[in-house]
Amino acid sequence: MSSNGTSAKPSPGLDLTGASTLEGMMLSWQQRIDPFGVTTSLLNAQAAWMMHPQELSRAIGAISGDVLALQQHLARRAMGLPSADVVTPQAGDARFADPVWSEAPTWDIVKESYLAITHRIEDMLFETPGLSDKERRRAAFWVREWLNAMAPNNFFLTNPLAMRKYVESNGESLVRGFKNFMRDAKAKNIRMVEADAFKVGTDLAITPGQVVFRNRLVELIHYTPTTAQVHKTPIVIITPWINKFYILDLTPKKSLVKYLTDQGYSVFITSWKNPTADMADVRFDDYLLEGVDQAVDAARKLCKAPQVHLTGYCIGGTLVATYMAWASRHYGEKKMPVAHWTLLTTLTDFSKPGDIDVFIDEGAICALEEKMAKTGYLAGDDMASSFRLLRSNTLVWHYFEKSYLFGEPLPPFDVLFWNMDTTRMPAAMHSFYLRQMYQHNNLMKRDALTVAGELIDLDRITQPLYAVSAEDDHIVPWRQSYRIRKYINVKAPVRFVLSTSGHILGIVNPVVTPPKRSFWVREPERNEHFEHWFNHAEKKPGSWWEDWLAWLSPQCGPMVDAPKVSAKTYPDLGPAPGTYVFEK
């Protein structure tokens, strides 16, 4: 039995029935000494292979085939003859993109040897007999992290580009690299962007607006209309609280809220407070009641509108989905404050959450709870580090190579600046979220979850939904995001979009000419499989923003005079971007 209580599924070619007794024996020790399975997962895998000699001999035979292929490749390259790669780097692997790794025989052999070894080791771990699926994935994940760190491009003497830059700069590249290293050592982090590259309120988050509501958890920003008239139904955007809100209001050309405002919509957005130790007891329920419910109420009153369009992004979308089920029961159909809604890269079914699953089991959650009990929160750097590990080649070792071995300055990239502007998680809320959503997957189970005094049943949701996912999203796999269609009411119209790019750039996807990206779109049936949907979806060039507006426009009602925020109705709480966004 695996650590999360699920049975193992046999891998192709192996007769596997479930997790081994050894795995269960080591579980208790692992939870105390190594809660994230960094070393124990590998020990489990090694022991499992030793207990299955037949499968081990078969794997060794495959390794022998790789060695023979490498020897033949080496011989042909040494004689100056062309030779096809033994292992081709995966699409998107930029580590060996420079021609020198293929054109120079020496470096080609270094590259091919590394890739062949790493691919075979990972394949063996994914096929480990006698371990649960989750333990196989965990072992492969942590070994992959080590293998990524050991890549030849991460060392000066095995990186031809670093040595070339050293010669061309007369050694200055390494001098600059050492200065960059000392900068990051002081920051205790491998930086992706300089801390002063941008200034919030001056360079980023500059769309004009006003804070119209504030409580202990959230500020609600209303953006100043840029058109004389706006659609009657306002848009309320619930942002994730694991980062600052301004990912949706970067520069004017990338700002989703500016785009909506310029198209004649009255737009509100949440800016969450960065929790402190005295907020340790703040619950998920509080985020729903004091966050979403009060934001929706404030927007309705300011715009004098009976309902709003509610949008949620990432964990903010999970909260929105919970709120929609909660409000359907709490307010009833006639008093429902939301007319229709949008989810942006959101999980509601956590059964297969992607690589983040390696951090989710009883031992890992207990370790996090113990840590949060001492501080009252989960530090933002801890959360950011976990997500960076999921793509360590691009989010860690890329900057190691560029900063330290090449001595290059960090590029001023606004998305990366936002990514480094982390926030904390209240202990009670985060524990609830990890256990009820990730560990037990209770949101998709009817009446299995009680939030703010109401049983949560997604099937009660009948309001039209526009859902957006991203093809390369490693945080919210699109196939899981798609499953929202299965759980909300069959009467609810759903338009599902799959954008190219990842979790951030699939959403921060402005309309440009010529188009940079594309998207697939189609209305799925309730039980339609994602493969069937994808095969029949229409692929369109450009940004899904325009398709969203075409869907929103007829639903957000007629054009009315833009609302005016007066001090008589709302106190002067200051201009956008507010005050909570500046809290560190």
Token pair 């869907």 is at which residue?
551
Q: In sequence order, what are the beta bridge partners of 222?
A: 210, 268
User: Residue 496 belongs to what H/E stretch?
Assistant: strand 494-499
CA gyration radius for the chain? 26
Nearest to 399 by CA among 193, 214, 109, 554: 193
Spatial separation of the C-alpha atoms in residues 208 and 243, rounded to whole Å: 21
Contact 498, 545 (CB under 8 A): no
Spatial separation of the C-alpha atoms in residues 191 and 203, rounded to whole Å: 20
Contact 210, 574 (CB under 8 A): yes
Q: Is 303 a catalytic residue?
A: no
Strand 559-561 relative to strand 229-231: parallel, antiparallel, unpaired?
A: antiparallel
Residue 218 phi, psi dihedral angles, 5° rounding: -150, 150
With 0-12 / 13-18 / 19 or more C-beta atoms within 10 angstroms meaning exposed / middle / buried, residue 359 is buried
Assigned token pair, 213? 């509501």
Within 345-396, strands assigned E span 377-378
Instruction: Report cis status (omega within 30 of 0) of the bond before 577.
Output: yes
Assigned token pair, 400? 């190691």
Q: Please count the residues of the chain.
A: 584
Helix axes 40-50, 21-33, angle to 10 degrees: 160
59: Cβ contacts below 8 Å, ≥ 6 apart? 49, 124, 127
Helix axes 40-50, 133-149, angle to 10 degrees: 110
Instruction: Report cis status (omega within 30 of 0) of the bond before 514.
Output: yes
Spatial separation of the C-alpha atoms in residues 174 and 170, rounded to whole Å: 9
Contact 565, 268 (CB under 8 A): no
Query: Angle 411-468-239 (CA atoms, 0-180°, nearest 5)?
Result: 65
Nearest to 422 by CA among 211, 262, 188, 261: 188
Spatial separation of the C-alpha atoms in residues 343 and 492, rounded to whole Å: 14
> Helix or strand or coil: residue 367?
helix
Token pair 């491998």 is at which residue?
190
Assigned token pair, 396? 């860690």
Q: Find the catalytic residue in 303, 314, 366, 556.
A: 314
Query: Which residues are catalytic, by number?
Result: 314
